[in-house]
Amino acid sequence: MAKEFSVPPVVFPSSAGNPNVPQQRRAPGAAPFQPPRPSNPGPANPSLPFMSFDVGSAPASSSFSAPVFAPAAGEGFSVSGSFDDEPPLLEELGINTRQIWRKTISILNPFRVNPDLHEDADLSGPFLFLMAFGLFQLLAGKFHFGIILGWVTVAAFFLYIVFNMLAGRNGNLDLYRCLSLIGYCMLPMVIFSALSLFVPHGGVVIFLMAAVFVLWSARVCTALLVELASCGDEHRGLIAYACWLVYMLFSLLILF
């Protein structure tokens, strides 16, 4: 015969964790509790859209626009201005291509040299000629860029010292102009370097060409030095010999 036991009712603790507090029971069929709402709710505050609890009625946020600052009084700065009024880049760098072209044309005629074009010295044209000379040497299988730049610098110091020693206190030849003149007078050497690619080395023709182009460069450089610097006319022979030595060295780079 089974024995029956009386089981006491089980009371679950409330959400607050206190088992002594009885649970609240809701009558069956009763609606859940809802907080009261105002009968006529006003529109959400447009200045604080994130404070609105009505998600469906909140306006969509517009895309961010960068702030526009007005220029200060007296300033003509414009954000939407163009670069049409800006000078060319070569002009800002001090490179006058038209002047370089005129100087190059004047070097091509050794009998009529215009010294007025070389009053304004620059290094843009000489740098182009030296790079072209080194490029033609590179096509011949000779890497002489460092030697060319070093020899031009030493030659400029050499002519500068020689000319000012001959002219004495009246000499007005500066090193910058001397370097510019030597560089521009390298144009015959550049032409010789280009022609030597098509002429066999070791023959009489290449040595005759070297003599002609060396005399060409030395004559033009001497004429420019004498005309542009004072007290150089009476020492023309010594200046011509110094210029001949300089360009003879560059011709040896082509011949050997």
200-232 in b/e burial notation, b at 16+ Cβ within 10 A?
Answer: eeeeeebeebbeebbbbbbbbbbbbbbbbbebb
Q: Is 202 left (phi over 0), alpha (psi -120 to 50) or beta?
A: left
- Per residue in 150-206, pLDDT (tens digit) is 999 999 999 998 888 887 777 778 899 999 999 999 999 999 999 999 999 888 999
The H or E element containing residue 219 is helix 204-228
DSSP string, 106-139: HHT-TTS--GGGGSS--SHHHHHHHHHHHHHHHH
**Over the stretch 110-131, which tens digit does the pLDDT of each residue have?**
888 888 888 888 999 999 999 9
This prediction's pTM: 0.65
**pLDDT in the model for residue 236:** 87
Confidence (pLDDT) at 20: 56
Between CA 183 and CA 224 the distance in angstroms is: 12
Decide if 209 contacts 193 (C-beta within 8 A).
Answer: no
Residue 126's Cβ-count burial label (10 Å; 0-12, 13-18, 19+) is buried
**pLDDT in the model for residue 79:** 46
Cβ(220)–Cβ(107) below 8 Å: yes
Higher-confidence position of 102 and 164: 102
Give 132-148 pLDDT, tens digit per residue.
999 999 999 999 999 99
Contacts of 166 (CB under 8 A, 6+ apart): 231, 232, 235, 238, 239
Tokens of residue 17, six digits: 């964790």
Measured CA to CA, the distance from residue 113 to residue 220 in angstroms comes to 7
**Which of 85-89, 94-98, 100-104 shows the lowest per-residue confidence on average (mean pLDDT)?**
85-89
Q: What per-residue confidence (pLDDT) applies to 61?
A: 52
Model confidence at 254, pLDDT cuts 50, 70, 90, reads very high
d(CA 219, CA 201): 25
Q: How far apart are CA 144 and CA 141, in angstroms?
A: 10
Could you report the per-residue pLDDT of 17-64, keeping only the tens digit for each? 555 555 555 555 555 556 566 555 555 555 555 454 454 555 555 555
